[in-house]
Amino acid sequence: MKKISPFLFGAALLASTAAHAQLHVEIAGVGSNQIPIAVAGFADESMAPAQISAIIKADLERSGVFKVIDAGTVLSDTANIDYSAWKGRGADALVVGSVQKLPDGRFEVRYKLLDTVKGAPLSTLPQSVEPRYTRLSAHKIADDIYLKLTGARGAFATRIAYVNENRAAHDYRLEVADADGEGTQVAVKSNQPIISPAWSPDGTKVAYVSFEKQKPVIYVQNLVTGQRTVVSNQKGSNSAPSWSPDGSKLAIALSKDGHYQVYSVNVDGSGLRRLSNSNGIDTEPQFSADGQSIYFTSDRSGGPQVYKMPASGGNATRVTFKGNYNISPRVASDGKTLAWVSQREGGYSLYAMDLSSGQELRLADGATEPSFSPNGKYIMYATKGGGRTGLAVVSTDGRIKQRLSTNAGNIREPNWGPFMK
């Protein structure tokens, strides 16, 4: 709690604005593995609504992969660079760029990634963006740097959905923000609870559960048009939507047969089909990355455990064995890692398992509702304790931790969106 207070103070200063999310980053145990990179101020960047070089620096720092060196100067993408001088300052790479206002009101954002070791340009990414997308242009540059220097796709330009709730005020919001918690937009506002948001694979829709009809009902909402449809309102409870990788179906959990079981349904609500068959609770279905399997939570053997079955239904095999409370399975995009929540020694902790070896790693305590970044490198989760909830991020290897919170209400139920253009 001590660590978070300076940032809470900062948030309080913004109390007049809408609920404002900010990240607090803790990085532990990375040390010499970090790539040293210098980021210069972009020429004329102050004319754009967002300071591009600052966003790039924050993204790179937050990843834990880079050691960011403040260049302390402005360098345009056309400037002559003394590579050896930057190498002498300990930077393996240098980022330079410029911003220019175009006659049509857009901004031209130019950047160059320079390899100071080889003394040569490594990458460029010219962009012409509307003023409201300058933040996005900076995240895209950070993604390009991440890809060129680590070989893996960055997730800085992705978005997250989560629920921001103030129960006392009966104010429940489904919000969408950039992956760094900035640029918050309200997608749904209700006076009844909203839970379990799930992004469609193309990033234009979100499925979620709303209690506006005094019971849980599953909706799919087109974020672009605001149009929403009821996907499932069967007798009893309807919940836990999960998209198939091709975006055509949802795996859901329904109590229509007297206890929770897993079903599949087309996105338009047609073609409802029961997939699981047990006498206990079967819920929280999650498609594997290849769409061939569904992981889910079942208490068929007593306490809740994670199981796996074919996506078309059929025999289920048990996946978790340690502890007697294992819930909320999520699979990384490469299909190799399972993240879930386990209650051991009282508390709820976030675990990751290498699915080929079965080896487990405890990533965080006081954690629920995990969600993988689309590159599989990070897991966002809800922190729970003392009634107040917030969001946090941990790298899948457990070395980097970040916390995200707001100045109002509780934020929970995070779902990390897919890669988008």
Partner 1 sequence: MRQFKSLAFIITSAALLAACKTPVKLNDTPVVERTTAPQSSTANDRDIRPVDTGATDELNNPGGVLANRSIYFDFDSYTVRDDGKPVVENHSNYLVKNKTRHILIQGNTDERGGTEYNLALGQKRAEAVRKSMSSLGVAESQIEAVSLGEEKPKATGSNEEAWAQNRRADIVYQ
Q: Which residues of the chain form contacts with partner 1 (CB under 8 A)? A: 167, 193, 195-196, 211, 214-216, 235-237, 239-240, 253, 255, 258-260, 281, 283-284, 297, 304, 325, 327-328, 341, 343, 348, 368-369, 384, 386-387, 412-413
Q: Which is nearer to partner 1, 75 or 253 (CB)?
A: 253
Q: How far apart are CA 87 and CA 36, in angstroms?
A: 10
Helices (H), 44-176: 52-63, 83-88, 134-150
Q: Which is nearer to partner 1, 131 or 193 (CB)?
A: 193
Q: Which is nearer to partner 1, 89 or 259 (CB)?
A: 259
Q: Which is nearer to partner 1, 63 or 255 (CB)?
A: 255
CB of 308 to partner 1, least distance (A): 17
Tokens of 114: 């320079």
Tokens of 263: 């079903």
CB of 297 to partner 1, least distance (A): 6
3-state secondary structure of 133: helix
Tokens of 92: 């393996």
Q: Which is nearer to partner 1, 132 or 170 (CB)?
A: 170
Q: Under a CB-based contact definition with an 8 Å cutoff, are residues 107 and 129 in contact?
A: yes
Q: Which is nearer to partner 1, 149 or 382 (CB)?
A: 382
Strand partners, 314: none
Residues 6+ apart with CB under 8 A from 361: 351, 352, 353, 397, 398
Q: Which is nearer to partner 1, 153 or 215 (CB)?
A: 215
Q: How far apart are CA 165 and CA 412, in angstroms?
A: 8
CB of 289 to partner 1, least distance (A): 21
Q: How far apart are CA 382 and CA 3, in angstroms?
A: 18
CB of 284 to partner 1, least distance (A): 5
Residue 415: which of 222, 206, 237 has the closest Cα?
Answer: 206
CB of 182 to partner 1, least distance (A): 25
Tokens of 356: 């080929």
CB of 269 to partner 1, least distance (A): 19
Q: Which is nearer to partner 1, 101 or 167 (CB)?
A: 167
User: Phi/psi of residue 11, each to 5°?
Assistant: -65, -35
If you search the block for the tokens 């329904």, which residue do you land on? 254
Q: How far apart are CA 237 and CA 211, in angstroms?
A: 10
Q: How far apart are CA 64 and CA 30, in angstroms?
A: 7
CB of 28 to partner 1, least distance (A): 26
Q: How far apart are CA 358 and CA 298, in angstroms?
A: 19
Q: Under a CB-based contact definition with an 8 Å cutoff, are residues 231 and 218 in contact?
A: yes
CB of 305 to partner 1, least distance (A): 11
CB of 382 to partner 1, least distance (A): 8
Q: Which is nearer to partner 1, 137 or 210 (CB)?
A: 210
